[in-house]
A and B are shown apart, each in its own frame.
Chain A
């Protein structure tokens, strides 16, 4: 069938600068460049281009530029190009539209409407260059009270805790969705920066057991790779109920991505589909969730905090309350912007609620009910920079997960083609030819650099506020003011309007 889809991008090649070295041809995973021997020239097939910028970055002479295709549809606010293209795609394939990364639609980003405070005259700011700033964060259940024994030590042991030197962890990204080299980069960086990475639901590759102390192992509805050694390998176990990019639906890792090595960690035969059912079939209620939480506590002999991750949905705060009462030590909420290796586009773009509102309402609810101490609160989904982190902590989060930001640090240019398995940056693919593009040592260095930069910035913001510990910002919404927000938005966020 002749495709009626327009070419999205055009590739401009400066003929004076191009030396026909064919680097673009080798780097492109979409065959958007080709060499014509007769002309002794490199040409483009722009209809194949996804604008990942791999060729642009690697062109040794800077001869390449990728631009949006300028042939415009007639203006129509209702029938926008994306909508026309989607219909065309479905008319030609008859399937569910897939996409990668997080929701890219112009829903309000509340971080951009929240502003932090700083000290002026009436209280001194603190210079983090000269004074110690404490970012250490402990995730896990905190007791209602502590008793100190005669020798000034705790009379009763605390429940198991995770210690983070920086309040930023790497989100769950399974082996199969991302490459092993990506997981090695994340694991190494987590170990070196004093934080945690998350296996996702695809099991733990044997070569990553060295990083076990910095690993959160995930148990999802497919139970892939879940067995006693795996559960006890990690520093914590996370039950994945839902994901911000696709709340309420399961996942299919297609058989062609289940290579020999992926089959080893998922513990399923090579080449078979890895199907994650939409619900956990042993969890149809809060009581059932409690049963799995306590089964995992039992299976790890009460030595690991148990985390439960849900997508931010309409009644997230009531669900979170149930999760805490079910025994979750860490509650993770993944918002509307949460990313994915593959999800139906219609789900990614239309289901869930913004993480800022979910976070504020969950934190408020747990406080009102007097159970906020019984679980730590971690959020995920669209955290872009250190000020997003600081604002999240002021709204009540204990820590955040970053996924896309970490992948961007590794080279991702957010071209949203994760679901195709042809990631030119070697991140979201299991093709051995492409996965070599990530060097775990360099990858870890890039991630460590990012976390270091964010830590320094968070310390600067804390110093400006006149506090010297992240704990003083946590849940302290007086440090925030809102701009361009309605009264309802301000009320849910628990934040005053700027100027008040």
Chain B
């Protein structure tokens, strides 16, 4: 139905009472905007290429699977493997994400995906990350508590993760380095936080005043010395 509407030339679609329907936004070639009230099912916007999906509710697993471009804005939580193998576009999640969020994110030429999470993530956030920018804002963390995710950035060989709030060293993958933000980072981050607050509200300045760290891949070839020839 959504596809048929798009083929008729509809530019804005609103879906109400969505309850687990999968693949919303897949195989649509036009740059339409789809507003979803309810809980979209798995693989929201899989292979998406330039549409804009606004979700008022929680998303399930696999949102933005292998997305090439477009925007997914989730006013709520998102499930596991959100942003798997994303190559371009933006995914914004107001609250938390599940396991393996942003796994194998890539970048390519002018495509540099952005994945901003307002809350925290479960284990393996940014695993195998090969490009793009991931932000974990930790806004809903209780004072004194740490991010949930362990094995952050395991196998990371590209891209950057900005993380706000506390975490222990053991929560990081062994391929990950930690650094303070430099000026270029702060500039980029401030743009990203403003995008987040633009959608979900909040005070960008006070968010930016939080304690941020930059996680980066210690090697672009983490598995370079594995083989005998």
Contacts and interface: CB of A to CB of B under 8 A. Distances in A.
B15 interface: no
B107 A269 contact: yes
A420 B229 contact: yes
Contacts of B162: none
A227 B128 contact: no
A272 B229 contact: no
Nearest to B157: A273
A223 B228 contact: no
Interface in B22-50: 22-23, 26-27, 29, 42-43, 46-47, 49
B42 A291 contact: yes
B158 interface: yes
Contact of B228 (A95, A268, A277, A291): A95
Nearest to B108: A267
A227 B87 contact: yes
B108 A268 contact: yes
Given A95-B225, A268-B131, A281-B100, A298 B81 contact: no
A275 B223 CA distance: 9
Contact of B221 (A223, A273, A300, A419): A273
B50 to A, nearest CB: 9
Interface in A279-324: 281-282, 291, 294-295, 298-301
A292 to B, nearest CB: 8
B179 interface: no
Contact of B223 (A231, A269, A273): A273
B107 to A, nearest CB: 7
B103 to A, nearest CB: 5
Contact of B226 (A96, A291, A301, A419): A96
Given A96-B227, A226-B66, A255 B221 contact: yes
B43 A291 contact: yes
Interface string A399-422: 000000000000000000001100
Interface stretch (A69-77, A86-94, A364-372, A445-453): A86-94
B226 A295 contact: no
Contacts of B220: 255, 272-273
A282 B224 contact: no
Contacts of A275: 104, 128, 130, 155, 157, 223
A384 interface: no
B106 interface: yes
Contacts of A294: 22-23
A228 B29 contact: yes
Given A228-B68, A295-B46, A282 B84 contact: yes
A277 B229 CA distance: 21
A18 interface: no
Contacts, number: 122
B107 A299 contact: no
A47 to B, nearest CB: 14
Contacts of B158: 269, 272
B226 to A, nearest CB: 6
- Interface size classification for chain B: 35 or more
Contacts of B224: 254-255, 273
A300 B3 CA distance: 12
Contacts of B157: 272-273, 275
A301 B226 CA distance: 42
Nearest to A92: B228
SS class, residues of chain A in contact with chain B: mixed
A490 B109 CA distance: 56
Contacts of B106: 223, 267-268
Contacts of B109: 269
A482 interface: no
B72 interface: no
A97 interface: yes
Contacts of B104: 222-223, 275, 277, 281
A420 B100 CA distance: 33
Contacts of B221: 254-255, 273
Given A273-B223, A295-B46, A299-B47, A281 B131 contact: no
B134 interface: no
Nearest to A345: B228
Given A226-B66, A228-B49, A299 B27 contact: yes
Nearest to B65: A282
Contacts of A263: 108
Interface in A415-444: 419-420
B68 A89 contact: no
Contact of B81 (A228, A273, A282): A282
A347 interface: no
Nearest to A296: B47
B228 A94 contact: yes
A498 interface: no
A236 B127 CA distance: 30
Contacts of B81: 281-282
18 contacts: A96-B226, A96-B228, A98-B228, A222-B104, A226-B66, A227-B49, A228-B49, A255-B221, A268-B130, A269-B107, A275-B128, A282-B43, A282-B61, A282-B65, A282-B84, A295-B26, A299-B23, A301-B27
Given A282-B65, A294-B23, 8 more contacts: A95-B227, A97-B228, A268-B108, A275-B104, A275-B155, A291-B42, A294-B22, A298-B23
Interface of A: 89-90, 92-98, 222-223, 226-228, 231, 252, 254-255, 263, 267-269, 272-273, 275, 277, 281-282, 291, 294-295, 298-301, 419-420
Question: Which 8 pairs show the lowest CB-CB distances between chains A and B?
Answer: A93-B228, A95-B228, A223-B85, A227-B68, A298-B23, A267-B108, A95-B227, A295-B46
Interface of B: 3, 22-23, 26-27, 29, 42-43, 46-47, 49, 61-62, 65-66, 68, 81, 84-85, 87, 100, 103-104, 106-109, 111, 127-128, 130-131, 155, 157-158, 220-229
